[in-house]
Amino acid sequence: MLPTIYEKLQAFLDSLPIGYPTTKSGVDIEILKKIFQPEEAEMAVHLQPFPEAIDAFCQRTGFELKKAQDLLEKMANKGQIFRMRNEGKVYYSAAVFLPGMWEYQLNRLDQPLAEMVERYYDEALGKEISAGHIPIFRVIPVDKAISPLRLEIMAYDRVKELIRSQKTIALTNCICRKERRLIGRGCKHIEDTCLYFSHMARYYIENGLARSITVDEALDVLDRSEKDGLVHSPQNGQRPMFLCNCCGCCCVGLRGITQLKLPASKVTRSDYFCICNPEACTGCGLCTERCQVNAVTLDDGVARIDRNQCIGCGLCISTCPTEALRLVHKPPEEISNLPASFGQILVSLAEEKSRRDRVSKS
């Protein structure tokens, strides 16, 4: 039996650097049927993983220019693919499901889709986004936690400097918390916490997924998120296109630690970890409440940090009343060079996936 267009689309998405694996239950296909019409699915499988000018796309695929552009614009507006405008030209690319197409469904997300994606996360997606040798996400410590380290901290680990360097910033609600709320598992944390930059910000603003904000407004988002106990979590790279502020109960990344019990190093990159001075610790327990990944426990009235669980966010440090906690650098052998961009990560993950495929076929 020939594969359906949705099976072709699933295979295509699974071939991307961050895959879209099949499931025994078929929920992967259910999700695609919910998001794509057949004509849209047929068009999507012809796209490249990186932005391609519309004229180059038509020349490569044989599609008529106006028909292709009309459909691709419609698909970009529905969050099925990514669109970028630069110097008067329009570029389109396939979108990996996560991070990407899933977040683009923010305005279209309803309870049935939320329930499907939750099932898919449990069956396959959660482990897929942590399958590569390079984490997709990283953690930037809160500003208060890095003050003693400021002379050692690189510019890309100073979250407020990252914000101040942006020319275009967009703010939107967290789709992870929206999804969990729709299935009856919502949390108490604030929702308007996701920041996007540059081309990604413009895509979100054009599609009505976010509003444009100033640097000062973005800095206020950071302050509110820190007060609310959320983890600063951008793309893993020196020039991230987004910065989320995450909770361990809803975030698709951090749930890899809290729900799937994966090592923190498989889920997110951090160059720091927390240590405790037991002589200064009074056992107040504030740190256990602030930790989003359950890395801190009290042992005989003293805070104990699980080194393999700690993500170095510094949230526990910023509220420690006795300054018993502090961040330290990981040893050099545990730290790899920070990728220049998320595109570099996708290239590395694509190469890794190609090697795995060759091994499995040999």
Tokens 């002589």 appear where?
A: 279
Question: Cα separation of 174 and 167, whole Å?
Answer: 22
Q: What length does the chain have?
A: 362
> What integer pLDDT is reported at residue 131 of this predicted model?
85
What phi and psi, each to the nearest 5 degrees, are found at residue 318? Answer: -65, -15
Q: What is the dihedral of CA 192, 196, 199, 205, to 10 degrees?
A: 10
- Quick one: pLDDT at residue 151? 41
Cβ–Cβ under 8 Å, residues 287 and 316: yes
Question: What does the radius of gyration of the chain's CA atoms come to, in whole angstroms?
Answer: 21
- The single residue listed with the structure tokens 């020319």 is 167
Q: What is residue 91's predicted lDDT score, i.e. its pLDDT?
A: 97
Query: Could you tell me which of 309, 307, 291, 175 has the C-alpha nearest to residue 230?
Result: 291
Domain borders along the chain are 5-105, 137-331
Query: Which of 16, 9, 102 is CA-nearest to residue 346?
Result: 16
Pairing state of beta strands 211-213 and 169-172? antiparallel
* pLDDT value for 336: 80
278-299 burial, b at 16+ Cβ within 10 Å, e below that, comes to eeebebbebbbebbbbebbeee
In contact, 44 and 82? CB cutoff 8 Å: no
Calculate the CA dihedral of residues 230, 234, 236, 237 and round it to 10 degrees: -140
Residue 180 parent element (H or E): helix 175-182
80 neighbors 44 (Cβ within 8 angstroms): yes
Confidence at residue 347, expressed as pLDDT on a 0 to 100 scale: 86
Token pair 């996560």 in the structure block, residue: 98
Sites in the chain below the pLDDT cut of 70: 1, 146-157, 357-362
pTM: 0.93
pLDDT of residue 361: 65
Chain mean pLDDT for the chain: 92
Q: Give, as one character, the DSSP assignment of residue 63.
A: -
Q: Kindly indicate whether the domain formed by 5-105 is annotated with CATH number 1.10.10.10.
A: yes
Report the alpha-carbon distance of residue 93 to residue 258 in Å, rounded.
33
Q: How far apart are CA 334 and CA 177, in angstroms?
A: 32
What pLDDT does residue 338 have?
85
CATH topology of domain 137-331: Alpha-Beta Plaits (3.30.70)
Dist. CA 77–CA 84, nearest whole Å = 12
